[in-house]
Each structure stands twice: as C-alpha cells, then as structure tokens.
Amino acid sequence: MSHGTTTLALLVAVAVALSACGCEAAKILAIFPVPLKQHQLVYRPLIEELAKRGHDIVLVTTDPLDEVERDANGTRGRIEQIDLGFAYELPVLEQLGRDGLDGRDMLRNIFDVMRTISAEELQHPAMQKLIESGRMPEGADGAKCSRFDVVMVEWCGVTLMNAFAEHFRAPLVGIANGGAFINAHEALGNPNHPIGYPSIFMPFSEDLSLLQRISSVLFTVWYRFYYYTEEIPAQNVIARTNFGEQISDLRQIEQNADLLLINAHQQLGNVRPVGPTTVYLGGIHQRGQKAVLPEDLSLFLTHSDAPVVYVNLGATLGGAAGRARIDKIAKALEQLDLASVWVIERDMELVNSTGRIYQSHTVPQEAVLGHPKVRAFLTDGGQINVEDAIQHRVPVVGVSYSTSYEHYLRQIAKYEAGIISLIDFETQTFVDKLRDVLTNERYQENVNKLHRLLNDQPQTPMERAIWWLEYVARNGGTKPLHVRHLSWFEYLMLDVLLVVGVLATLACSLIAYGIYRAVRYSKSLPFEMITPGSRKCKLI
C-alpha cells in the first residue's frame, strides 16, 4: 500500500472516531474519594472509556492507574491523576470493621468515617493546589486554565467533594455504586416514599409486612433528621474551611446536581419512579472483552474435571467463625469431589483441603466465571459478584449468615437463579444444596433467562453513561430536565388539603345554616287544622 493511501486511510479512521464521539473533547474532573478497592475498580472502565473518546480527565482517586495500564489502553496523555492512596493508612478507616452496630449506628459510623477521610483528603497538597487553581483568573500568566466542563463525584453519603462543582462553576454529576442514598434521590427530585421505595440500608425491598413498613418509616424520618440537621452542618464547616466562606450550603449544591448515575440494574430489586436526570446503569465494571487467565490458573482449569466451583466470600472468611465456614465449605467440596477456585484475603491463611483447589489473593473473576468448566459461584452476595454471575450465566450458591438475606441474594432467590444456604446452621443440607445447583438444570435455565432480561436494552450501560456525561458537557448541564423540588408540606399537599378543607367546611356550614333557617321559617308559618264539623286556624 502506498504512503498516500495509508495516510488517507488513517485520516478516514480518525474522522470516523471523531464522528462516533459526537462531542468535542471535554475536560472532566472525576473524584472517587472512597478508599475501598472494589469501589475504585467499578469506575475505572468508565474513566478509561472517556479518555479513549478524547476527553481530558483529572482523576482524583485512592487507587491510581499504573503506567503499564495507561500505556496498554492508550490513555496516558489523557488522564492526569491525583493520588490519595494515603487514605488507606488513616486509622479512622479501621472503624468501618466495627461489629455489633444496629442500622442507625452503622450509618452514623459510615458518615463519621467518610467525613473524616474526606477532610483529610482535602488537606492533601495536591488537592489544595487543585482548589487554588480554581481561584486563579482564567488565562492568568503562568497559570493553567482549570475550568472543567463536568465535575463527577462518587456519592457515598458524604457530599463534601460536591463543592468542587460550584468552585469551578461546572455541572455536577453524582455517581453511586449499588444504590443511591435517600438524600441523593431527594436531591434529584425522585419520589422517596419509605414504604414504596425503602432505603438501600433496609434488609427488605419488596412486599413489606406491617412491621417492616413501620420500621422503614421510622428509619426514613430518623435519616432525614440526622442528615440535614447534623451531617450537612458538620460537612459545611469543613467545606468552608477549604473552599472559603463564600461556598454555598452543601445541601443546596447537592440539589443543584445535573445528573445522577446509579450503577445498578433496576430489574434486581431497584424499580422505582425517577426523573429524567437519574439514569440507571448496572455492570459498568464489566470489561466486555474476554479476560485473560493467569497461566497457572488456566492450567488448573484445563486439567480439572467439570464442574468447577468458584468461591469468593470476601472478608467474611476472617476470624473464628470464618475458619469454621471455610472448613465446612472445603469438606463439602471434598465430599462431592469437586475442584474449586478460591479468592482469599491477603491477611488470611490458606485453605487447608485434601481436594483439588486453587487459591490466590488476586483472581480475575470475570475470566474464571467465563470458563466453560465453572458451573457454580459460591458467594455471600454483593452487587459485583451477583452481576458477574448473571453476566456469565453461572448459577449462584448464596451463603447467608442470617435469615435476613443480603439484597442481591434475595434477587437470586426471587428469580431462582441459584439457591441460598444458611451455612452456620447447615451441614449435610449445604452439601445437598450445592449438589442440587450443579445437577438441576432449572437453575441454569433461570440464570440464562435473567442474563437475557438484563441485557435486553438498546444501549450497554457503558454507552448510556458516556452519552449522558457528554450530554451534560455539550449543554452545560441539564437544567431544562430538572424536576421541581417540593417542600414537605407541598409533597403531602397539606396546603391544598387545608384550603380545600376550610372551603368545604364553610360550604357545609352555609348549607347547614340554610337548612336550619328554612326549618325555623317553616315552623313560623300558620297551618290549617281540620276537625270533624269545624275549620279553624291555629298558630304554632
């Protein structure tokens, strides 16, 4: 091929790529402040895809991309990173592992921890430099313009980082993993009825009993009181310390958000009415392309007899209770003569088993689930685990530690795409359930149906997220699509009911008074009494 032809072909390819993008290159500030690896991995494919489409990203993260990854996906020049990895070393993070807390104390604990971490992150020199760049006049000598077209922030309850949107005068996009908090839905004007749509922190979501309805109402009332009277004021103090006294109230900034992206499938127990600026995604962490297995794991699966069981129970394998669960699961696998692949935490001891077992701290989950010999996924739930199982059509053996099943395990039971085991109270029954999942075709058929259900949509979750982010960048926000925020008395129609009640009372009073006057008047009129042989008038 000639040099001129090659150049022409390259220009055509570039033109096609630009036309596919449909949006001029935008500058996006993406802030993911939560020091949890699982949270960070969910958003990484989205950031990489935005960079591939020509957008410039300033990524604030606790888990930055390494140079090899950026070179491999061609995003090195498009992503500027601010590394907040020091947050993993903060002592306050250990409080997230506290046991024995009820729902409200657990939520208070989460807010306290995340508020403290966010405050420390804002004090980081790189973050202070970023804040300072927003105070410089655009085009100032020696200063790089730091105006952003979009500010995207992970919404995990604490809203401190939302202040960057007002600071840079840019549209605000919130993104939530798994489900949005009550305040997030209220900020976007979504209906938030505690009985119709319970909080994601409630251990139920559908067909509520009377006691569950009472519990949901009381929790919602408490949450709103706590969040707006205690949490927001505490965060406002930190925001004004870092951004200045001119920064608006964080509740107002939150309510001015232009878009909320929720990484969850509505079909998995998340159905609720939402406004046009609330968009459900689900599965944006999934790479799509075939993942590669490590060589030793590939050999293990190749030389193992089907079916193989994949085990990922996360941190629930720690402690004495965790060791007992490990022993029970390992013995069940031995009894059924099954090969298994285990994901274990770095601080855990290796699983002691005489069966055929592969165990590692780092296992490419999608690659394992996509292997044709893997026929069951043993997990304690969680959004990523269940979504990956459905995407790769692998039936689930859910492990629950109480009768209040984790949300996504409830969905597995609802669609019969697997079976749930109360492992702490079952021995032989657990073996029977594991055998049932592997031999009963009903579970495979149901997980196949659920896979088709989740994927029957005009766009992939990634395409939907990209389109909406570019929409916000193109139009400077979504103001024409905003839902009107109603005050509590407007939402309950108290003013309307009061006026209608008063008018109805007045109307009824007037009618009653009219009837009363008519009766009195009729009694005052003369009438004739007829008696045998006489006729006379008598006044009464």
pLDDT class of 67 with cuts at 50, 70, 90: confident
User: Which fold is adopted by the domain 295-455?
Assistant: Rossmann fold (3.40.50)
User: Residue 406: exposed, middle, or buried by beta-carbon count in 10 A (0-12, 13-18, 19+)?
Assistant: buried
Percent of the chain with pLDDT over 70: 86
**Between 90 and 525, where is the model more confident?**
90
Amino acid of residue 177: N
Report domain extents, the chain: 24-135+145-285+459-489, 295-455
Maximum average pLDDT range among 317-331, 374-388, 523-537: 374-388
Percent of the chain with pLDDT over 90: 53
Q: What pLDDT, in 10s, does the model give residues 453-506?
A: 999 999 999 999 999 999 999 999 999 999 888 777 887 889 899 999 999 999
Residues 6+ apart with CB under 8 A from 319: none
Homologous superfamily of domain range 24-135+145-285+459-489: Glycogen Phosphorylase B; (3.40.50.2000)
Q: Which pLDDT value is given to residue 382?
A: 85
> What does the pLDDT average to over 45-49?
92
Q: DSSP secondary structure string, 200-268?
A: TTSS--SS--HHHHHHHHHHHHHHHHHIIIIIHHHHHHHHHHHH-TTSPPHHHHHHT-SEEEEES-TTT
Q: What pLDDT, in 10s, does the model give residues 26-46?
A: 999 999 999 988 888 889 999
Whether residue 530 is predicted with pLDDT greater than 60 in this model: the reply is no
Q: Which pLDDT value is given to residue 122?
A: 95
Q: Provide the pairing of β-strand 534-538 with 374-379.
A: unpaired
**Between 10 and 162, where is the model more confident?**
162
Q: Which pLDDT value is given to residue 497?
A: 93
> What does the pLDDT average to over 241-245?
94
Q: What is the mean pLDDT of the chain?
A: 85
Residues 6+ apart with CB under 8 A from 457: none
Token pair for residue 210?
């009377």
**pTM for the whole structure:** 0.84
